[in-house]
Structure formats: structure tokens, C-alpha cells
Amino acid sequence: MIGRHRHCIALEDFSREEIVEVLDLALSMKEVLRRPLKKVPTLRGKSVVNLFFESSTRTRSSFEIAAKVLSADALNWTATGSSVSKGETLLDTARNLEAMRPDVIVVRHASSGAPAFLARHVKCSVVSAGDGAHEHPSQGLLDCFTIRERLGSLSGRTVAIVGDISHSRVARSDLHALQKLGAKVRVCGPPTMIPQGIERLGAEVFHELEKAVAGADAVVMLRIQHERIGDPLIPGTREYSRLWGLNARKAAEWLKPECLILHPGPINRGVELSSDVADGPRSVILDQVENGVAVRMAILYLLAGAGATTEGAPAEKATA
Amino acid sequence: MSETIFIEGGRVIDPQSGLDGVRTVVIRDGRIAEVGERVERPREARLVDGRGKWVTPGFLDLHVHLREPGQEYKETVQSGARAAVAGGFTAVCAMANTLPPNDNATVTELVLARAAAAGLARVYPVGCVSRGQKGEELAEYGELKAAGCVALSDDGRPVQNPALMRRALEYARVFGLTLAVHEEDPHLAGRWSMNEGPVATRLGLKGYPAQAEEVMVLRDLALADLTGGRLHLQHVSTAGSVRAVREAKRRGLPVTAEATPHHLTLSDEEVARSGYDTDFKMNPPLRGEADVRAVREGLADGTLDCIATDHAPHAVEEKQLEFDAALNGIIGLETAFAACLELVRQGVLSERRLVEAFTGAPARCFGLQGGTLVRGAPADVAVLDPGLEWTCDPAALHSRSRNTPWKGRRLVGRCTHTLVDGRLVHQLGGGR
């Protein structure tokens, strides 16, 4: 359990305390990850199914490593999208998986709400690895973890999220989690990429990059998906990168010296981020990847592990 | 001939004749024989106890999908008509988007034959505006009218070409047929799953902006002005559409409009509250709070003439899906009265206006008979218990489908008896 939650689907539903619980536990998980022998028996005998309806290398691998470090058995189930007319329905897939008695199902799906649907129909825990343009809770948590690790605290900080906010599940999870931890959140992009009513979620809306990043403590640059071009949300990548992309010159002129650059990956180099920024000293993009494993270990541990019962924390187990 | 029936002790509400009071309704030979304060009941007459209940003209629903022919796994004329009478509806207008669509007399006659065989609610077929609902050429309105169609609609596949719409409105005038239109600009609406707005943004679902309905409402009002053709706007869902209809009526355009129980009582917040429950997914989608208020006001002040359910049955496997993959539509015949009675309790509608919106008002929109209890009228009667509490169990409904957003909810108000042509075709708890 993460606080009151048996599933990890939407950070919107999580309290500040529940988020902090995951982040604090992820800290000890990161310590486990950095050991020469990266294996603790915490989730031995537990099984985690990675059910991916959308291709994803990074997130799936991250969950797989997280499960394996905790000694859970991880199974990857790659599925094709379902519809009325073709293939197996999500409900049938869910029932089939359920029959294999997994402890956790990690699901990535192109349809917003698919993890919630799954959670209603299976008995095990469901972890969303991203659903449509809804949420990507583990990404939101790892972004918070990364900023907190570098800046000490999120309280009173300002974070700018730049890019296609409309289609971004990362933006929504970040928005909920960052604010619960006390940060102010700005979103920035062309008006075609800013969804209606985003300010009701607490975001301050900007259309000019310079203003959005001024005084920010961290900037999350979102990936521009090629299928959006000609949607037509933007005329092309050339104009986009000029107006909303970040390069070394803009970073030097517009950002505070200590401002961090995050990106959920994979990067379109030269579109939203130039290589010199992506690989530069402000970039914490690879920290995000490492922290992602730690955060996912914490999530799996809280949902499938002994949790509050007798087995104890993984750090104690490892020393025993 | 059918038996003589006395409905005694009920509050008779007949907005058409202005009657609202406790009366005895006497039904003989399929017609209303008498509505009186004290009538001697012969021993052989059947008694329906109306005490504590409303006795109203049978409800008329201008907008239902009976799915036959072609999609009998969702609903049939028989099962839909059974659901209708269970909800107090004695007549329903069957939309033309069947398989094949109702664009010729053969389909119309089949629907009418099935309805006659069922012997439940009256079923009024609605014919296609365009052949095959393809939006390319006019259907044969003369043949459709002669076969029994009472109106025209491409509901489900709205007419996009404004020139065709113009000709349809003009041509339909010869036959006195109303064009019932589903207003949606498919390009502006895009591949949507719910109303565009803060809730869609929160849930990450693709939004359908209110304006994609309103631009088509404005287009068709302009075409009604141009042609003088009779236009009926189906399931009006936005504040802008209500404003446009109000203005058009003020100018005297030949337009009528309907509102659904769900657009009157539920907002897009339900999609979030229910956790993406696809029984809150329909077309047009549930709108924002301000739109719900505007639709209520529109119904209360008569801008929107009547209530219609847009009863749209779908099989479980078409709804138990990811939100964006599930089909649009919900069933509504058996919950309409209870859902809308809530508006009376909230002070939005008077009891009289509620009954009118279910009876005389829809009859006038399409120029249909019925909707009143005056002596000599066909005995289509609903007996309703406005205080009856019940829980909506989808499995216990008469529709073949289960896709109702009111499932599991405590509802107040239910039809207890329904008579069509003086025959008792529904009795609550009576089975069948």
C-alpha cells in the first residue's frame, strides 16, 4: 500500500505524505542500486507483469530492473491495441493475466483511463506506466525525486514544463506532484499545445519561453512527438525549436545559473533541446533515469512487498 | 373490444387540456371515455388504483434507437418497445440509423410490422434525410411518408454538406416532414472522447468543444430561415446552442428542440467521478456545469420544447472498453422519468412543465397525435408514482442492453402502469 492506495495510477489522488513516503523509500532503494551486488530478497516469490500496449524501452526496462533488484519475477507481456473489431479486448487480457496470479501489473496504454479500467477488473495491484495523455505517475515521482535530490526541497521552488502539454501525461503527473510538494508550476508552449482549463490544475500558463523560464529552479523539456506536426499543432520542428527549444545561448541568457534541465526522454536532439544543453552541466537527464529505477523499486515494494508487515525494510534485509 | 378500465384516485395532469386534479379516468374501447370527479364503476370494469400517483398522457419519445433491423443483439423493436412502456412511454420515434438504414419503404414497413407484432408502444419510424445516410443525395421522402415515417433524420451520421441540407429542408416541406438533426461539425469536433474543458484536460481525454455543436446549429438555423423547412434540433447540449434556439424562436423560425435527461442532470465531471466509466460516454458528450444550467433553463422557459432520451443501446463488449474505444450512447427509456423528476424537486421545472415536456410538447414537434387525455382521445396513459424509490439495476431493465449511467443509483419516481390504446401493456412487477 502507498498510504491508502492499493494501486499507483494517478498522482492527482495522492496526498503530499503519500508522495513523500515513496520518495523517502526511493532514497534507500537508490543506495541498494549502487551496491556492487544489486539484489535484495524483498520481493522473492512475487511476480510483476509488465503489460505494455505501447512501445517503450526505457520505462519497461526500468520497471523490469526494479523488479529484479527486489528479486521479484518480472514478465514482459507486449500486447497490441484492442478495439471492438480486432484483437483481444483489454478486459479479456486483464482476465487472462489475472488467472496467472501476478502480484503487480505494470501497464502502459495509449488510452487515458486504461489502468483505472484494469484496476477495476483485477485483484492485484496496478501500476500505471503511462496512460494516454492522463498520467505517468512514476515519471512524476522520479522528477520530484531528482529535483529534490539536487535542490534539497521543492518547497517554494518554481518549475517550468515546456512543450506539448495537451498530449503530455508527464506534464500532468509533474503538475500534481510538484504542487503537492510545495512548488509553483508553469507550463509553456504554443497555444495549440496548451489544453483548455490547465490553469484549474494550478498551472500558470506562458507562451513565451523566455518568460516561462525566468527565475525557474528547474525546467522540464518535453519531447515533441513527430506525429503532432501537421496535426496541425505547429507548423514544423524548425519554428518550434526556434521559439520553444532550448539551446546553450538561451540557457545562458535566460536561466538562473543553478537551474536544472530535465527531460523524460527520449530526446529529440536539436528540436526541444540542443545537444550542448542536453549534455551540459545543468542537465540531470541521466540522474532521472537512475532515479527512475529507485522510485519504481519503492513503488513495487510498497504495493507488493511486506510493506507494513514483518519482512522489514530492504536495507535491513541486505545487511542481514 | 378491450375491457373497460377505471383509473381511480390519481392526480390527473394533462397540460394540453389544462387539467390538474384528482379525477377518475375511464377507458373504454381503446379511448378515453370520461375524465370525471365521481364516476360510478361497473362491477366488470378493471380497477387501476391511482391513489398517490400521477395519471398523465402516455409519454412520447422523439429520439430512440431500436437497432432493428441489423443490430438485434443490442435491441429489437420488441425489447425497445417493452423498455418504452416500462418507462411510461406509449410512443417512440425510431431513428433511421439501422442496418440497412431506413431510407426506403421496405425498412419502414419492417419496423412497423415488428412494432405491431410486439403490441406494446406505438413505434413511429423516422426516415433518412439522405440515401443510406451518406449525405450525398436525398432519400425518397414521398415513399417514406407513405410507408409511415413521421420525420426525417440522419442522426448518427449528420448531414455535412450545407447544400444538401438546404435541399432536404426545402424538399421535406412538400410532405410536412420535420428534419431532426444531430448537430456536430466532425472536423472541429475531431476524434473526441468527451466534452472539451478542464475535466478532459485533467483526465487526458480528447475534447469535443461546445462550438463544434454550435456552428452547426447556427448553420441549420440559417438554412431553416432560407427555406422555411421545419427543423428539430436533437439533444441540445450547450449554452450557445440554447441561446441560438432562443433567438431563432424569437425571430419566428420554424424550429423546435429537445433535451435529454442526461444533459439535463449530469455534467462532464461524472466522467472523472466515475473513473472513466464508459456509461458516461455518449454523443453529444456530457457538458460543463454552465451548459447543464443553460439546458435546464432552456427546457424550463420553453426554448427547448421537450425531453427525448436518445435511448442508444450497446452490447457489453462495446462498452466495457478503454474510454476512447467504447461506443457512444446510453439507454434511457426506463430511467427518464425518475431522472427528470429530480428537476422538479430542485425547483427547475414545474410538475406541469415536466409532464408537458414528455407528452404534448414532443407530439407538437413532429405533428403527432396523442399527448392528451381529453375525452375521445386514444387511451395512451401513464400512471406514475412520483414518490416510489427504487435502485436502478441494469439487469432488471427491459432493454437488451445495460449501458445506463444511473446503474446502482437510488432513484425516485417510477411508472407503475402503462396503457396503449386502452390496453394495459405494462404493470410494475407484472413481469413479461
DSSP line for B208-226: E-HHHHHHHHHHHHHHHHH
Cα-trace Rg, chain B: 21
Angle, CA B124 vertex, CA B304 and CA B65 arms, to 5°: 70
What is the Cα–Cα distance from A94 to B414, expressed in whole angstroms? 38
Whole-angstrom distance, CA of residue B308 vs CA of residue B262: 10
Contacts of B217 (CB under 8 A, 6+ apart): B183, B233, B236, B240, B241, B244, B245
What pLDDT band is residue B407 in, cutting at 50, 70 and 90? very high
Residue in B205, B275, B322 closest to A90 by CB: B322
* Chain A, nearest residue to B319 by Cα: A84
Chain B contact for A125, CB < 8 A?
A: no
Q: Compare all CA atoms of chain A with the CA of B272 and give the residue at the minimum distance.
A: A113
> What distance in Å separates residue B193's CA from the closest CA in chain A?
10
- In Å, how far are A188, A212, A239, B257 from A206, measured between CA atoms? 5, 6, 17, 41
Cα–Cα nearest to B63, from B307, B273, B236: B307
Residues 13-72 of A with CB under 8 A from B: none
List the single residue in A with minimal CA-CA distance to B317: A84
pLDDT digits (tens, 9 = 90+) for B195-248: 999 999 999 999 999 999 999 999 999 999 999 999 999 999 999 999 999 999
Kindly state the cell numbers that stand for B114: 415488428
The predicted pLDDT at position A310 comes to 37
Q: What's the gap in Å between the CA of B395 and the closest CA on chain A?
A: 19
B427 close to B417: Cβ distance less than 8 angstroms? yes
User: Residue A88: enclosing H or E segment and its boundaries?
Assistant: none
Q: Which residue has the cell 425518475?
A: B338
Chain B touched by A171 (CB under 8 Å): no
Joined together, the cell numbers standing for residue B272 give 472523472
DSSP H or E run through B28: strand B19-28
Q: What was the ipTM of the complex prediction? A: 0.91
Which helix H or strand E contains B171, and what residues bound it? helix B162-172
Residue A83 touches partner B, C-beta closer than 8 Å: yes
B9, B148, B160 from B163: Cα distances, Å: 55, 27, 9
Residue A310 contacts B where some CB pair is shorter than 8 Å: no
Q: Do A197 and B318 touch (CB under 8 A)?
A: no
pLDDT tens across B22-77, in order?
Answer: 999 999 999 999 999 989 999 999 999 999 999 999 999 999 999 999 999 999 99
Instruction: Give pLDDT tens digits for B368-385.
Output: 999 999 999 999 999 999
Task: Report the residue of B71, B187, B202, B279 to disrupt the A interface, i.e. the one with the largest count of A CBs within 10 Å.
Answer: B202
**Chain centre to alpha carbon of residue A84:** 30
- Give the H/E segment covering residue B114: helix B105-118
CA distances from A40 to A43, A61, A66, A298, B17 (A): 8, 18, 11, 13, 82
Closest CA of chain A from B207, distance in Å: 9
SS3 per-residue string spanning B46-90 = EEEECCCCEEEECEEEEEECCCCCCCCCCCCHHHHHHHHHHCCEE
Q: Which residues of B does the annotation mark as catalytic?
A: 310
B204 vs A: CB within 8 A: yes
Identify the H or E element spanning B116: helix B105-118
Q: Using one digit for the tens of pLDDT, what is the confidence trace for A258-285?
A: 999 999 999 999 999 999 999 999 999 9
Distance CA B29, CA A258 (A): 90
Residue of chain A with shortest Cα separation from B201: A195
Give B180→chain A minimum CA distance, Å: 29
- Residue contact A112–B203, C-beta within 8 A: yes
Which residue, among A206, A128, A141, has the nearest Cα to A174 in the 3D structure? A141
B318–A111 CB contact, under 8 Å = no
Any A CB within 8 A of B201 CB? yes
Hey, is the C-beta of B197 within 8 angstroms of any chain A C-beta? yes
The residue ranges of DSSP E strands in B240-380, in sequence order, are 255-259, 306-307
CB pairs under 8 A between A and B: 83
Asked if A12 has any chain B CB less than 8 Å from its own CB, the reply is yes
Other Cβ atoms within 10 Å of A268 Cβ, number: 18
Neighboring chain B residues of A197 at a CB cutoff of 8 Å: 197-202
**B170: exposed, middle or buried (Cβ count in 10 Å: 0-12, 13-18, 19+):** middle
Average of per-residue pLDDT across B308-325: 96
What is the band of A230 on the pLDDT scale with cuts at 50, 70, 90?
low
- Taking the Cβ of residue B200 and every Cβ of chain A, the question of whether any pair is shorter than 8 Å is answered with yes
- Mutation pick from A86, A88, A196 vs chain B, by most beta carbons of B within 10 Å, is A196
- For the stretch B158-192, pLDDT in tens is 899 999 999 999 999 999 999 999 999 999 999 99
Report the residue of A111, A199, A222 to disrupt the B interface, i.e. the one with the largest count of B CBs within 10 Å.
A111
| pLDDT band per the 50, 70, 90 thresholds, residue A97 | confident
Chain B residue at shortest CA distance from A86? B325
| Complete edge-to-edge strand list for the sheet that includes strand A204-206 | A204-206, A184-188, A158-162, A218-221, A260-262
CB contact under 8 A, A196 and B317: no
> Is it true that the peptide bond before B284 is cis, omega within 30 degrees of 0?
yes
Cβ A213 vs Cβ A219: under 8 Å: yes
| Whole-number average pLDDT of chain B | 97
Q: Which residues of A fall within a CB distance of 8 Å from B317?
A: 84, 89
Q: Does B191 touch chain A (CB under 8 A)?
A: no
Q: Which residues face B10 on adjacent strands? A: B23
Interchain CB distance below 8 Å, A172 and B325: no
Given this model, what pLDDT does residue A317 score? 39
Question: Is A200 at the interface with chain B, CB within 8 A?
Answer: yes
**B284: helix, strand or coil:** coil
Nearest beta carbon to residue A132 from set B199, B204, B320: B204
Comparing A307 with B94, the larger pLDDT belongs to B94
Question: What DSSP assignment string belongs to A250-285?
Answer: HHHHHS-TT-EEE--S---BTTTB-HHHHTSTTB-H
φ, ψ for residue B22 (rounded to 5)? -75, 125
Query: What residues in A contact B197, CB-CB < 8 Å?
Result: 196-197
Q: Which residues pair with B311 in a beta bridge?
A: B64, B330
B417, three cell numbers: 402502469
Are A178 and A139 spatial neighbours (Cβ–Cβ below 8 Å)?
no
Residues 6+ apart with CB under 8 A from A227: none
Q: Which of B199, B323, B325 sits opposite A84 (nearest CB)?
A: B325
Q: What φ, ψ does residue B142 adopt, rounded to 5°?
A: -60, -45
- For chain A, give the mean pLDDT: 91
Q: How close is the nearest chain A Cα to the Cα of B388, in Å?
A: 32
pLDDT in tens, B349-374: 999 999 999 999 999 999 999 999 99
Sole residue written with cell 496470479: A101
Q: Are the beta carbons of B232 and B256 closer than 8 angstroms?
A: yes
In angstroms, rounded to a whole number, what is the distance separating the alpha carbons of residues A101 and A46?
10
Chain B residues 124-143 within an 8 A CB cutoff of chain A: none
Tally of helices (H runs) and strands (E runs) in chain B: 15, 18
CB-based contact (8 Å) between A194 and chain B?
no
Query: Does residue A85 belong to the interface with chain B, where contact is any CB pair within 8 Å?
Result: no
Residue A79, chain B, CB below 8 Å: the answer is no
In chain A, the residue whose alpha carbon lies closest to the alpha carbon of B325 is A83
A220: cell is 522540464
Q: Are strands A218-221 and A260-262 parallel, antiparallel or unpaired?
A: parallel
The pLDDT value given to residue B355 = 98
pLDDT-based confidence at residue A306 (cuts at 50, 70, 90):
low
Contact at CB, A117 and B323, closer than 8 angstroms: yes
Name the β-bridge partners of B13: B20
Phi, psi of B105 (to 5 degrees): -60, -30
What sign results for the dihedral spanned by CA atoms B64, B66, B71, B73? positive
Looking at the complex, does the CB of residue A111 fall below 8 Å from at least one CB of chain B?
yes
Which three-class secondary structure string do you get for A139-166? HHHHHHHHHHHHHCCCCCCEEEEECCCC
Give the distance, in angstroms, between the CA of residue A199 and the centroid of all CA atoms in the same chain: 21
Is the Cα torsion angle B255, B256, B260, B266 positive or negative in sign? positive
User: Per the CB < 8 Å rule, is A82 touching B204?
Assistant: no
**Which residues, in sequence order, are CB contacts of A232 under 8 Å at separation 6+?**
A192
Q: Do residues B219 and B166 touch, judged by C-beta distance below 8 A?
A: no
Q: Give the model confidence (pLDDT) of B386-396 as tens digits.
A: 999 999 999 99
Q: Do A172 and B204 touch (CB under 8 A)?
A: yes
Residues in chain B closer than 8 A to A83 (CB atoms): 321, 325
Give me the phi and psi of A107, to 5 degrees please: -125, 135
Average pLDDT over residues A286-311: 85
Q: How big is chain A by its Cα radius of gyration, in Å?
A: 19
Within chain A, strands assigned E span 47-52, 73-78, 104-109, 125-131, 158-162, 184-188, 204-206, 218-221, 260-262
Lowest mean pLDDT among A79-93, B82-96, B386-400: A79-93
**Interface mutation target, options B191, B201, B206, chain A, most CBs of A under 10 Å:** B201
The continuous run of DSSP H or E covering B168 comes out as helix B162-172
Backbone angles phi, psi at B221, to 5 degrees: -65, -40
